[in-house]
Structure 1
Amino acid sequence: MPPSLRSLRIWNCEKLLRNPSLTSFDMISHLSIGDLRDDAIKSFPNKGFALLPPSLTSLILWGMSSLHTLECTGLLHLTSLQQLELIDCPRLENMEGERLPASLIKLEIYECPLLEERCRMKHPQIWPKISHIKGIQVDDKWI
């Protein structure tokens, strides 16, 4: 890959996410991962996935139909991450780990009805993991 690559979109390619060389893209600041329809992907990131590049400032996860849990601990090394978008993950309802990275300033959640409801209710299993984020937008409404 070119060393100047700053943005990468991975679409319907689970094998690439399992490739450890993904971490070698140390200059990428924007990463979009989506349309992973594999029923085996219940949590993200999980042990089978490569470590995400720590240079990320923006991460978009979309179209993950079987995703159930966002693993906060697997994202903590992303110390530059400022924006996280979760889009069209209809089964996503849980967040595991202590909390999302402290560097996050914006969290956007769209078409993830189970997680959206838990965020709006400030559910005790979810709210401590996201309450430090200044801007939380759930289905076009700021909370």
Structure 2
Amino acid sequence: MLISLRVQWKFQRFTHLDALALSFPNVGVVDSFPEEGLLPSTLTRLSIFECPNLKALNGKSIQQLSSLESLQFRDCKELQYLPEEGLPTSLPHLILYECPLLTERCQRENGEDWPKIAHISRIEIDAEHLPSTEL
């Protein structure tokens, strides 16, 4: 029920919120997250845990997180790909853990989503550090 009311969360009103961790372990399919305007642009750390039915990321919403320094996904088994828009160019740290579909797409050099994350200086996939080609 809480996830279906997420547009009413109004996190954007918390102008000093810099870190947020969300978990949706027992929720049905979540086609896309976050909705535009849901999260404040002041976030520096965003972690999404135990969201086994999350399918995709809303690229426009992620791009609006211009202060983001760390983005983490853990146990998002249905997360299939990164948004077409990619991730914010200012993002220096990405962590993927137990996200098998996305992990395959983010493999260095040959993953379909690698060009969307190659600019990130610190990438951790299933506890393995992948150096960026942009170094």
TM over 0.5: yes
Which residue of the partner structure matches residue 100 of structure 2? Answer: 113
Q: Distance in 2 between matches of 1:14 and 1:63?
A: 13
Quick check: 1:39 aligned with 2:28? yes
Moved over 3 A (4+): none
What is the number of equivalent residue pairs in this alignment?
129
Kept in 2, the 8 Å contact 1:29–1:55? The answer is yes
SS in 1 for 2:42: coil
Q: How far apart are the structure 2 equivalents of 1:40 and 1:115?
A: 17
Residue 38 of structure 1 and its aligned partner are, at CA, apart by 2.1
Shift of 1:135: 0.5
- Which of 117, 127, 134 aligns to 1:140? It is 127
Cα distance in structure 1, aligned partners of 2:31 and 2:68: 23
How far apart, in 2, do the equivalents of 1:33 and 1:21 lie?
14
Q: What RMSD in Å do the two structures reach over aligned CA positions?
A: 1.9
Alignment of 1:81-96 (within 5 A): 81-96=68-83
1:28 is aligned to: 17
Identity %: 34
Structure 1: distance between partners of 2:24 and 2:10: 21
> Unpaired segments of 5 or more residues in structure 2?
131-135
Q: CA deviation at 1:73?
A: 2.2
1:89 counterpart letter in structure 2: C
1:66-86 deviation digits (Å, cap 9, x = unpaired): 111122222111111000000
Match of 1:18, SS? helix
